[in-house]
Structure 1
Amino acid sequence: MLFFKSYIYLPFLVLFLSCKEKQISSPPPPHDNSLSAARLISDTPEQPDEQVGVYFMPSWNTSPDPKVDRDSFWSCLQDPKNCSSLQNPAIWGARGRLYNRRYPYEGPYLERKPIQELKGFYDRTDPEVARKQLEYMKEYGIDFFAYNWFFGRHYYYHLNFGPQAKIYYPKGWKTDQNRDGRVRVPGMPEWDEQLQVLLAENTKLPKEKQLKWAINWCDDSNERWMLWLKIGSPEELARKANYSGEKPDRNLYLQVHEKITQLWIDQFFKRKDYLRAPDGRPIVYFYFPQDAESRAAYYGLSLKELLDYSKNLAKKAGLKGIKFIAVTAGPMLEQERIYGLPTSWKAKNPSRPWEGGQYQNKLLLQEYVPRLKSMGFEGMTGYVYHNFYEKDNRSYADMRETYRSHWKLWGEKFKSDANFEYQIPVAMGWDMRPAGGTWPQQTGFPSEPYKDRVHSTKATFKAKLLEAQDFSKKNRNANGNTIMICCWNEYLEGNYIEPTEGHGFDYLEAIREVFGK
């Protein structure tokens, strides 16, 4: 998933809690790189095996014609003219991504095509492909996948209208029978087709071959936030997209949050294959909580209030609660505060908030992280770390160094806290050229294209896994035993361990060789 330095695309909630913990103001001493990868595993007493997770990014149809399927991944790997990411004016400006002699098109990126056993540029809803993906994960030592789960809170639909009859709506909730069962509380999952197929195929597998899974809750789009705020606007009422009384106020916002949680309870948490903490609570990963926090602040709500609300709903349903794990990253230098992690959002025109606003009160990563526990999180991990203070990722060697620095910083911070774990993140690289490059600007050109060369090999990825395993074992008592890998299939960002024509099974083999499963 993308974190744009020019146009912030982010998830949705808030906080007005003060931070009493001492914030980190300077980087720790540099890491000693003298040990070879082969000697990294420390001579500690035997401990439980690592639990290996991997993020799974869904793709979707970008074609305006419902009869034509244009996959958001495969279209960008093959032809820039069909790539919606390159045509998006919200991130690239009115003319989309521009190419010239200085910023040339370097595709197509056919080495990222999945192997023939996965049917190449496969149909994302193909059950045979889904089963193969699950089998590969299990066979090569992955214990669970965290599915990047999106929810469009602005969608109204009609339960008495055939095509919409199967969309989730909590049992017993009110509808408007005078308008074909129009739901009173909007919102529906987006891009969950692959998840439904994966879960259906997982259920068919023998119990010992089934994979655990969790959701990684994402709402990383400012566009979705604007669509939510536009509910009940004069324009929407005029075109009858909304009706009198439908408005995105605080009460409806809370009702949608309740609906989201109830969906998790009804459709996910009751499944035997859902990932749980040792005490039985379902685990929910939460991508970029600052996005949710800043938007909830618009309604005077704190992120802790929302997480507590979800936990209490789970308890009422007979569960022991929910364990939330924050997925975080962000800038660490004062001169980059403009790109920092926001904690509030303010409309430019309070009477027409859907026309835009500003994310405010931005914090650096080392200022934001100490607040996580007070928000209701019981752990943190990462998706992709792009830097550590002054150190940027310009190569995979750089990435290994920045990751080691993050591991040490956050591992040390939480090592004495038995109620907060740091799950060690690992990434296979970064190369966003198929989506236009790092990072999109309104000029039509990327601002830091030199970062699109963070390429690993089986050997360097394996070395990084060994480093992560060593750190995990040394800090097991404090940080738990989970290692999170990015990613199974982030094809447009150059983070994909799924077998491809370019690297075959190299990355899966590295995982199996390190973790021995």
Structure 2
Amino acid sequence: MQSNIKPVAYYLPQYHPIPENDYWWGKGFTEWTNVTKAKPLFKGHYQPRYPADLGYYDLRVPEVREEQATMAKENGVYGFCYYHYWFGDGKQLLEKPFNEVVESGKPDFPFMLCWANQTWKGVWFGDFQNQVLAKQEYPGIDDYTNHFSSLLPAFKDNRYIKIDGKPVFQVYQPLDLPDSKVFARVFNDLAKDNGFPGIYLLACNVPIYWEPEPNGFHGVISYLFHSFRFREKNTVFKEGSFLGKVEWKWNNFLEGKAIERRKKPKVYKYEKVVTKISKWPKMNFDYYPMVVPDWDNSPRAGNSSMILHGSTPDKWKIHFHNAVNYINNTSPADKFIFIKSWNEWAEGNYLEPDQRWGTAYLKAMKSCL
């Protein structure tokens, strides 16, 4: 394997019950609840999906986390990027699996964090009342300080992925921050106060006109898949123009409502979509490709879902190979390729083995390395 290529897979910690999910969706709810109730919505629709090697696991079980890391490592995944939910004033959700990874020192597998700074709405979990379940708040500098302090044990862990000694930390929605420069300054200063050279901040979901450096960030992870999901079908104005910026905010505002209005799934050919989202631009800052093995969120959203139809290991291999070529012909601070995702089963978006393909997606990726 080319040791300079570093595939990092997003990791969803949703597979264990928590009191909030018990209250919202019923006792014992986890991501598997939606996965198991999925039904095919048209001829040839691959649903439901059944896990293979790892089964319907519970992430409170350390042996499960060890098996995931072993499987990932054997097939060329460099590390996991755990989704991290901090809603403000110390409120967290789904934090237990990652906290146990840090506290136990196991598995021995690199990791980083992505702050999924979004309000949780019912629309994302199958309830189309669009009610707010957990609101994302930004109380101010003191909260940024407390947030950093809660992350410090992870940042100090030898497994935490760093660039030039700086912990790599992602923010999913930087545009939602009241002032990204203030947030970045606080995190960077606190990192230095705790013996690091600083913090390396990555933006996940930003429009093309957004530049990281003026906003206190170091780099950007490809926004092209998000752009396709929420904007591409209705884009009128050129990205980067004044009206394009207005349209971005307007479409973002309407995002949830547009999903609610849909009466049948939007179905696209996988190969056409990944060809489109593989046109990664060459930027004058650190820019990292993001690749998608598959997408089908009908277990959550039913007829209001979006489905990439026809993904196969061979088509995924082409998509991933294009990312390898891109990263080998650019010069970011490190050669990360971000994979969405390791285990988002209710979005049909995973590398873990299922009963149809087994480990074929993992092996296809490994062959590119």
Change (3 A) 1:479 1:310: closer
TM-score normalised by structure 2 residue count: 0.77
Counterparts of 1:65 and 1:227, CA distance in 2 = 11
Establish whether residue 194 from structure 1 lines up as the match of residue 109 from structure 2.
Answer: no
Match for 1:114 among 38, 51, 57? 51
TM-score normalised by structure 1 residue count: 0.56
Counterparts of 2:358 and 2:25, CA distance in 1 = 33
Partner of 1:429: 294
Question: Do the aligned residues in 2 keep the contact of 1:378 with 1:421 (CA within 8 Å)?
Answer: yes
Partner of 2:188: 311
AA partner of residue 313 (structure 1) = L
Partner of 1:69: 28
Counterparts of 2:132 and 2:36, CA distance in 1 = 31
Secondary structure of the residue aligned to 2:350 is coil
Partner of 1:123: 58
Change (3 A) 1:429 1:66: closer
Query: For structure 2, which runs of at least 5 residues remain unmatched after alignment?
Result: 122-130, 236-265
Counterparts of 1:304 and 1:225, CA distance in 2 = 28
Query: For structure 1, which runs of at least 5 residues remain unmatched after alignment?
Result: 1-46, 81-98, 154-185, 230-247, 297-301, 330-364, 415-419, 438-444
Establish whether residue 400 from structure 1 lines up as the match of residue 255 from structure 2.
Answer: no
Offset, 1:48: 6.1
AA partner of residue 275 (structure 2) = E
Match for 1:253 among 118, 140, 152? 140
Counterparts of 1:214 and 1:402, CA distance in 2 = 28
Partner of 2:4: 49
Offset, 1:435: 0.6
Offset, 1:196: 2.8
Match for 1:284 among 164, 169, 172? 169
Counterparts of 1:401 and 1:108, CA distance in 2 = 21
Question: Do the aligned residues in 1 keep the contact of 2:37 with 2:48 (CA within 8 Å)?
Answer: no
Higher relative contact order (CA 8 A, sep 6+): 1
Identical columns (%): 22
**Could you give the per-residue CA deviations for residues 366-405 of structure 1, whole angstroms, max 9, x where no partner exists?**
33x23x2211111111373452855998111122221222
Counterparts of 1:397 and 1:65, CA distance in 2 = 37
Partner of 1:375: 215
Structure 1 window deviating more from structure 2 (188-197 vs 215-224): it is: 215-224
Secondary structure of the residue aligned to 1:220 is coil
Change (3 A) 1:219 1:134: same
Question: Do the aligned residues in 2 keep the contact of 1:424 with 1:472 (CA within 8 Å)?
Answer: yes
Change (3 A) 1:458 1:200: farther
Establish whether residue 132 from structure 1 lines up as the match of residue 67 from structure 2.
Answer: yes
Q: How does 1:26-105 map to 2 (within 5 A)?
A: 49-59=4-14, 60-61=16-17, 62-64=21-23, 68-71=27-30, 73-79=31-37
Offset, 1:63: 2.0
**Could you give the per-residue CA deviations for residues 406-459 of structure 1, whole angstroms, max 9, x where no partner exists?**
x1x2x2x32xxxxx311111111211110114xxxxxxx62xx5x413441110
Secondary structure of the residue aligned to 1:453 is strand
Counterparts of 1:429 and 1:256, CA distance in 2 = 36
Counterparts of 1:495 and 1:76, CA distance in 2 = 14
Counterparts of 2:75 and 2:64, CA distance in 1 = 16
AA partner of residue 184 (structure 2) = L
Offset, 1:104: 8.3
Counterparts of 1:105 and 1:74, CA distance in 2 = 24
Partner of 2:157: 271
Counterparts of 1:51 and 1:63, CA distance in 2 = 37
Match for 1:503 among 340, 349, 357? 357
In angstroms, what is the RMSD of aligned CA positions?
Answer: 3.2
Establish whether residue 219 from structure 1 lines up as the match of residue 104 from structure 2.
Answer: no
AA partner of residue 9 (structure 2) = V
**Could you give the per-residue CA deviations for residues 443-488 of structure 1, whole angstroms, max 9, x where no partner exists?**
xx62xx5x4134411101111111111111122x357411111100
Question: Do the aligned residues in 1 keep the contact of 2:141 with 2:186 (CA within 8 Å)?
Answer: no
Structure number with larger C-alpha Rg: 1
Partner of 1:366: 208
Offset, 1:55: 0.5
Secondary structure of the residue aligned to 1:282 is strand
Question: Do the aligned residues in 2 keep the contact of 1:393 with 1:399 (CA within 8 Å)?
Answer: no
Change (3 A) 1:228 1:499: closer
Q: Which has the higher strand share?
A: 2
Counterparts of 1:467 and 1:55, CA distance in 2 = 19
Question: Do the aligned residues in 1 keep the contact of 2:118 with 2:135 (CA within 8 Å)?
Answer: no
Question: Do the aligned residues in 2 keep the contact of 1:147 with 1:195 (CA within 8 Å)?
Answer: yes
AA partner of residue 352 (structure 2) = E
Establish whether residue 148 from structure 1 lines up as the match of residue 148 from structure 2.
Answer: no
Counterparts of 1:68 and 1:140, CA distance in 2 = 36
